[in-house]
Amino acid sequence: MSLIENNNKQATRSEQAAAQAAASRRGPDEIAQDIARAILARQLPPGIWLREEALGRMYGVSRTKIRAALLILARDNLVETVPDKGTFVSRPSIREAHEVFAARRLLESEVVRLFVATATEREFAQLEAQIHHERAALDKSVPGNVREETLGDFHIKLADLSGNEVLARFIRELVARSSLIAMRFQSSNESSCSSDEHGAFLAICRQGKAQEAVDCMLEHLNRIESSLSLEETPPAPESDLFRALLR
Ligand SMILES: [Zn+2]
C-alpha cells in the first residue's frame, strides 16, 4: 500500500507515524514508485497538483528528494510540470488515450508471444494466483481503488514473466497511464479489466496457442478502449480528500 493510500485511510496515529518513519528512509526511486502506485490505485486523479512541500512533509524527506521523484514520474508521463505553476498528475487527452492503447496492443502482443514460448508451470501458477486474488478483490467490501490496482497488476505480472525487462518497464508505465485514462474517460466499470477475461486468456496460453492468445489479449484491450467515453470534459474539482492530504 502506498503512503498516500495509508494517509487516506483512517489509520491510527501510531500506524501513520510508523509508515512515515519507513517512508523517510526511501530514495527518489521508491517515492516515485509509491506515487505511481497511488495513481494506479486511482488515489490521485488527473490534474491534481502535487505540492512539493506537502509531499516532503508526508514522506518526511527533503524537497530535493521529492523533486527527483517527480522528475522520474515526468519521464514516465505520469505527471507534468508547468513552468511557474508546479507539477500536476497528467491529464491525458483523447489522442493520448488512443496512442496508449495502440502502444499496449503492440507491446503486449510481444509479451504474450514471449510468455507462451517460455512459460513454466510455476509461472502459470503465479498468474492463476493473481486471478484468484482479483476475484477475491471483487468482493464488495474491498475498496474500488484496490480492485483497480489488482486488475492492472495482471498485465504487469505477465510482462515481468516475459523475461524482457525493457518491455516490462514500458508496460508498467502504460498500465499506470491507462489508469489515468480510465479515471478521465471511464463511464462505467466496463472500462476495467475483467478477471474472467484474464482467466480465459490464461487457459489459451496453457494450450500453447500463441496466436490465439495474442488475439485474445488484443480483444481484451480493444474492449476496454472501446468502452471508454472519449469526450473532452472540464477538469474535475479537487476532492476534499486531496485538499486535506496536500494542504
Ligand atoms: Zn486486463
Question: How far lies 37's CA from each of 73, 90, 144, 212, 220, in Å?
Answer: 11, 14, 14, 31, 23
- Residues at Cβ < 5 Å from ligand 1 ion: 193
154 Cα–ligand 1 center, Å = 6
Which letter does DSSP use for residue 80 in this model?
A: E
Q: How confident is the model at residue 240 (pLDDT cuts 50, 70, 90)?
A: very low
Looking up cell 523475461, which residue turns up?
163
Which of 38, 63, 91 is a domain's end point? 91
103 Cα–ligand 1 center, Å = 15
Looking up cell 514471449, which residue turns up?
114
Task: Look at 21 and 181; give whichever has higher pLDDT.
Answer: 181
The pLDDT assigned to 3 comes to 63
191 Cα–ligand 1 center, Å = 10
**pTM of the entire predicted model:** 0.78
Which of 91, 122, 151 is a domain's end point? 91
Long-range contacts of 114-120 (CB under 8 A, 24+ apart): 114/162, 114/163, 114/164, 114/167, 115/158, 115/161, 115/162, 115/205, 115/213, 116/205, 116/208, 116/209, 116/210, 116/213, 117/210, 118/162, 118/163, 119/161, 119/205
56 Cα–ligand 1 center, Å = 34
C-alpha span between 225 and 227 (Å, rounded):
5
Based on the domain organization, do 28 and 57 belong to the same domain? yes
The pLDDT assigned to 169 comes to 92
For 19-50, write each residue's pLDDT tens digit: 666 667 789 999 998 898 888 777 888 899 99
136 Cα–ligand 1 center, Å = 16
* Local structure of 49: helix, strand or coil: strand
The pLDDT assigned to 245 comes to 47
For 126-157, write each residue's pLDDT tens digit: 999 999 988 888 776 666 666 666 778 899 99
Ranked by mean pLDDT, the top range of 32-41, 140-149, 183-192, 231-240 is: 32-41
Tell the burial category of 226 from Cβ atoms under 10 Å away from its Cβ (0-12, 13-18, 19+): exposed
Element (H, E) at 88: strand 86-89
Task: Look at 39 and 163; give whichever has higher pLDDT.
Answer: 163
Asked if the model's pLDDT at residue 110 lies above 60, the reply is yes
In a domain, 5, yes or no: no
Based on the domain organization, do 101 and 208 belong to the same domain? yes
224 Cα–ligand 1 center, Å = 8
The pLDDT assigned to 189 comes to 60
Asked if the model's pLDDT at residue 244 lies above 50, the reply is no
10, 45 Cβ separation under 8 angstroms: no
Based on the domain organization, do 65 and 109 belong to the same domain? no
C-alpha span between 40 and 73 (Å, rounded):
13
In a domain, 98, yes or no: yes
Based on the domain organization, do 144 and 199 belong to the same domain? yes
CATH number of residue 31's parent domain: 1.10.10.10
- Provide mean pLDDT across the span 182-195: 76
Based on the domain organization, do 110 and 217 belong to the same domain? yes
Based on the domain organization, do 44 and 161 belong to the same domain? no
Asked if the model's pLDDT at residue 226 lies above 70, the reply is yes
15 Cα–ligand 1 center, Å = 33
144 Cα–ligand 1 center, Å = 16
65, 102 Cβ separation under 8 angstroms: no
193 Cα–ligand 1 center, Å = 4
In a domain, 235, yes or no: no
- Provide mean pLDDT across the span 178-205: 85
CATH number of residue 100's parent domain: 1.20.120.530
> How many structural domains is the chain composed of?
2
Domain span including residue 185 = 94-226
In a domain, 65, yes or no: yes
- Provide mean pLDDT across the span 154-178: 94
